[in-house]
Structure 1
Amino acid sequence: MTASAVSRSSSSSHSSSRQPADRRSPGRRWTLRRTLVVGTSLLVALAFVVMSLATIVSLRSFTLDRLDQQVTEGLSFASGRGSFENRGGSQPPPGQDQDQGQNADRPAPRIGSLQAVVASDGTVRTSDYTRSDGTQVQLTADQVALLQADVPTDRTPVTIDLGGDLGSFRVAAAEVDGTTVFAGNSDADVSATTTALTVILLAVSAATLLIAVIGLSLFVRRSLRPLDRVAAVAQRVSTLSLAAGSVEIPDRVGDADTDPTTEVGRVGASLNGLLGHVQTSLAARQHSEDQLRRFIADASHELRTPLSSIRGYAQLSLGEDAPMTPTQARSFDRIESEATRMASLVDDLLLLARLDAGQPLRRDEVELTLLAVDAVSDAQAADATHAWRLDVTDDLISVTGDENRLRQVVANLLRNAQVHTPPGTTVTLSLARDGAEAVLRVVDDGPGIDPGVAGRLFDRFARADDSRNRDAGSTGLGLSIAQAITEAHGGSIAVESEPGRTVFAVRLPT
């Protein structure tokens, strides 16, 4: 059997071409479900934040306005009292004692309020602060000085921190007949109200957001179930082997998920249409391959008889003692040679057609050790220009298969090494056991495999040169036949090549 006409003229590493491509996956992407839930939750949380801030700011502004109104009213009352004191001094009207006069001038002071009256000469006439229990305390000199320094006398309330136990106040001031009158109220209630509202809003918003996230998760999960079913169909179809043979794609998207009025339904209907087109195309491809396979098998079978006749007549003519010219003798010799070569090509094509059609092989016990010894002996006898070596283990290794076809595999690989390496190359056939597999390796120290043909090394009629030169006597089917026979036995064949070392490895189950 002829070997593959594949040039091994330059270095290459076919094993590197067999390695999976480097797939640098980007950072982990979010699923659509997670994106919808997180995105919607963030929008809801943002809405809660805006609503809470607006509520807190509005409430604080409202309470401050009410507080400023109370401060202004207190200032008006204190200004009138200060004017009365300026006009009448500190003495009450006749018939009233001092306390009665003071109580008649004004109602009981508001809790948390302060009033102060400072004369034009800086004398502090009154400076009272009413505690929560109703008692009144006097402001310190520093606190009064702080009022004089920071509170304008234009009746506009301002916030001032008096320190100590008093804290922050809203205070307004006015000048009445040369006397400066101060009135204010503590903003503790405003702060307490704002703080309480903030806590309530935070608690309610957090609880509402949690409920919203849980509800969104359930709603989105339920809404995306049709898309999950469509994806499951696509996933199952993606695991089918569509490369060769008769292919059936039974999976389809259910009618419930093919409603053209919905987005998922359009995707499901499109996927069903795509699967239908793919199945039709695969069926047409398989039909074409079957037709081509039958044609090759029939043509090869029919050509064997006339080729045998041509060879027989050529040999008969050459065997006669009748005189013939040198041209005639040369022509008959070439007819016999080319007929032999064509018969070999026809046999190869017929074998490939039968293997492609799944024709069963013989299932006998084959001693690979004896097969390797015979193959190296035959190669040594056929070509003495190469150094043939045998490397086998002491124990016998056997497999179940067709002995003649396995001999053909080894012979093709040795023939391939002989044809495509220069004289003097050392070719080693080794046999070893690797777990549950027997491994046959053909190793040579030739120049290696041309990178241009490494990817199509096992293709049929693969050749390294673009010309159709047949001087090497090769049909380009040797390696493809070796691969087809190996795979028919449930094994595999691979090649590794670099300058000075090329290895063909055949693995067969023991």
Structure 2
Amino acid sequence: MRLLPRRPRSVRTRLVLISTVLATVAVLVSQAAGLAVMRSWLTGQIDHRLTQFRPPPPAAYGRPPHGPVPEDALPSDFRVFFYASDGRLRSHSLGSGTGRPRLPESASGPALERGRPVTVPDAGGGADWRVVADTGPDGRSVVVALPLDTVEGATSKLLWFSLAIGVVTAAGVGLLGSAAVRLGLRPLARMERTALRITGGESALTVADTDPRTETGRLGIAFNTMLGQVRAALHRKDASEQRLRRFMADAGHELRTPLTSIQGFAELLVEQPRLPAARRREAHELIARNAERMSRLVDDLFLLAKLGYAPVAHRETVDLLSLAADGVGAAVVAHPGREVRLAPLGGGDADGPGPALDVVEALGDAHQLSQVIGNLLANACRHTPSGARVEVRVGAVLTGPETGGTDRPGRSSATAALPAGVPACVVEVADDGPGLAADAARQVFERFYRGPAAAGEGVEPGSGLGLSIAATIAEAHGGRLELDTRPGYGCVFRLLLPRSVGPDPYCPA
């Protein structure tokens, strides 16, 4: 026969059942203990009366002890039984009442211990007797007995009373306990309804019972914390999906422009094979230029994807001053006529007054850090007028609102702030151009964001990935790339890297 699975009981049902059983058991145990104590006390009272009783002399019986004894010789519930001189139990007794205890037939038989009360059954099956053996005035054995019918009657009534109390207690605890448990579990019921509403789509709800002094309150706090984390995860997921969609759309748009140009000029060359040599050379140059642009864009996208999931693979001691000098030299060649110079972080220049340039070393990938400096210089030269100066400063500081690494008004970054007071090596790329508004400054590190190029420069716009790549490389090195700017005061891009190489005068201990 297949057994059906037992239906699980609810928490409220289990609590009511447990409380009812415990209360009933407690009442019954206490009543049983009281019954035992009362029976013991009543029996002790009877034993006291038995041990204090002394049989009267034979003359007080009104008849010789060999003849029958009147039943009402003792005006009480005592019964006195005698053993004859030959040791046999006499059929007559002293005292009144019905029934008689089951005593030994001979004094030489199983004897009762003298002076010690014992319980014996009734000869006719009635209530038990409490008897004690003694020696009469004439030296013969005498048994004094008292019936236990009053004791058994009292204990029987108390037993039934205890059972009734137990039944009433069980019913009362069941009813009142159900109401009390329902009242106590009301916060859980509210929490359950809130959870059902949340699953129904009302995701902004929270649990109202958050008293840390109660179990349900602590559960509510944990539930709200869990809801907050789930909402944050969902928001991050939605934001990530939105960024991915925007990234794919921007990447497609950026790739479509050079691809359309390549396709157009290729079709021109195919459809018009007799183009003049100058026009054919121009078409080939435009195709090559757009192909190179696509190649750079694909390389930048690949680098971003690689930096997004892989740590810096190659770490070595890097001289940031040498990297900055190489970047300044490349910028001067790429932008002739532009004033680009190298200076210490504290002010002055390499040959003038102010702190002298010294070696500033950090731990990282030299190629990637060189790419960061190159991107910052290219960005400064592309988006500032030709007469604006660009200065690269190298040094070391303790992070703070004034020196960099932490957040403050007018400062933006794509990565989290560094702890204050941490030694860091710094490379700053500063210009005295027009600067950026607050809204534009918050977007410069976004992918495919392109600020306005310098007026009249005729410089081909970039892909909008340079600063995003630089910020990602800085974050991969455990550092930060940030921007201090405001309209009319130029821009200062600051690369901060954790100090991890021996002491130098620019990295205070």
TM-score range, shorter chain: 0.3 to 0.5
Q: TM-score, normalised by structure 1?
A: 0.46
Instruction: Specify which structure has the bigger relative contact order, considering alpha-carbon pairs within 8 angstroms and separated by 6 or more residues.
Output: 1
| Higher share of residues assigned helix | 1
Normalising by the residue count of structure 2, what TM-score does the alignment of the two structures yield? Answer: 0.46
